[in-house]
Amino acid sequence: MGRDVIIACDFVNAAQTFEFLDKFTDVKPFVKIGMELFYAEGPSIVREIKARGHKIFLDLKLHDIPNTVGKAMKVLSALDVDMINVHAAGTSGMMKAAIDGLTREDGRRALLIAVTQLTSTDEETMKNEILIEKPLADAVMSYASNAKNSGLDGVVCSPLEAGKVHEHCGAVFLTVTPGVRFADGDKGDQKRVTTPAQAKEIGSDYIVVGRPITQAADPVAAYKRCIAEFVD
Ligand code: C5P
């Protein structure tokens, strides 16, 4: 798969989600479904969006013992999404079990991506509460290496870290990057942001864009602007 823009569909229910997706008549964007929408609507929301022809990143960030994650992934594999994720903090045993569970009988599976360190966790909190003494950037690269060595396809990271992750884990190891804003846009609660064009330059494979598209006066135009800056 080449570079693409993934729209974070952070809506509270199916009605709002479909009202948004109905605006897209000539294109079928890759969309991200997160915990809020999935827990509100259940697996049917995935089936319905898939039936409309969208690719889906199911952002549920699984993190539990290997047996539980493996079995949960087996259930989720039936939804036939394109991308799904786990926390790298679950360690290599859990990540390998996730791959096993996710892989269907015909050998096909969704791309499996690891969350490294959440961007809401800063170095001080990581040190004081998770007792990781290393610099945050080193911890992120270590999680990325573990994910790669466990057979995963990539990591979620800041676009600012995408180049380093590629240097460390290779060009084909995917970087999926939220924290994207237009140069003339509102940052909202995101702190370290890049524009779609900068994310492309640094080497992100997928940008995850929420509010700059979902809250735009013209969401389709905002999406097309992301495509023009990041993909074309
Ligand atoms: O609206 P916005 O563009 O900030 O949305 C970004 C999306 O990416 C949200 O769904 C958010 O939960 C997700 N995300 C993030 N930072 C991370 C991991 C996920 O912003 N480190």
pLDDT band at 1 (very low <50, low <70, confident <90, very high): low
Q: Does residue 48 surpass a pLDDT of 90?
A: yes
The model's pTM:
0.96
Catalytic residue status for 61: yes
Structure tokens at 35: 């915990």
Average pLDDT over residues 39-53: 98
* Dist. CA 170–CA 167, nearest whole Å: 6
3-state secondary structure 89-152: HHHHHHHHHHHHHHCCCCCCCCEEEEECCCCCCCHHHHHHHCCCCCCHHHHHHHHHHHHHHCCC
Give percent above pLDDT 70 in the chain. 100
* Dist. CA 110–CA 127, nearest whole Å: 34
Beta bridge partner(s), residue 84: 58, 112
Residue with tokens 């995963």: 152
Average pLDDT over residues 13-37: 98
* Dist. CA 52–CA 50, nearest whole Å: 5
Q: What is the pLDDT of residues 195-207, one digit of tens each?
A: 999 999 999 999 9
- Distance (angstroms) between ligand 1 centre and the Cα of 210 equals 7
- Distance (angstroms) between ligand 1 centre and the Cα of 205 equals 16
Q: Is ligand 1 within 6 A of the CB of residue 208?
A: yes
Q: Does residue 166 surpass a pLDDT of 60?
A: yes
Q: Does residue 188 surpass a pLDDT of 90?
A: no
